[in-house]
Amino acid sequence: MKKLITANDIREAHARGEQAMSVVLRASIITPEAREVADLLGFTITECDESSPVKASVPASVPADKTESQRIRETIIAQLPEGQFTESLVAQLMEKVMKEKQSLEQGSMQSSFK
């Protein structure tokens, strides 16, 4: 039986800090949405003909900003109905949260100079 690679599989791998996934072409089906999500996230899907896929790569040290954005992303996704959102919606919400966070940080910095 073939393994189905979905957009949620890509999101989960990305949230864990992985940047790439290698799949056996003969043993897997990659959904079009999974490919789209991978492109949006800068996640690489490598298709190979081997019998055992290479494990997804995990960076040795994840930058603090990336960890924070992953945490924000996971929080946003947890609040949305499962399967009822698009990657572009998540990206828009993340951008809004980051802008709001930045404006709050600037506001607190300005008040400390008074």
Separation between Cα atoms, residue 5 and residue 29, nearest integer Å = 6
CA distance 17 to 12: 9
What single letter denotes the amino acid at residue 75?
T
Would you say residue 1 has pLDDT above 50?
Answer: yes
The yes-or-no verdict on residue 68 having pLDDT over 80 is: no
Q: Which of 1-5, 13-17, 69-73, 91-95 has the lowest mean pLDDT?
A: 69-73
Average pLDDT on 66-87 reads 75
pLDDT at 51 over 80: no
- Please tell me the predicted confidence (pLDDT) of residue 50: 62
Residue 93 has pLDDT above 70, yes or no: yes
Looking at the predicted structure, is the pLDDT value of residue 61 above 70?
no
3-state secondary structure of 96: helix
Ordered by start, the domain boundaries in the chain are 3-48, 64-112
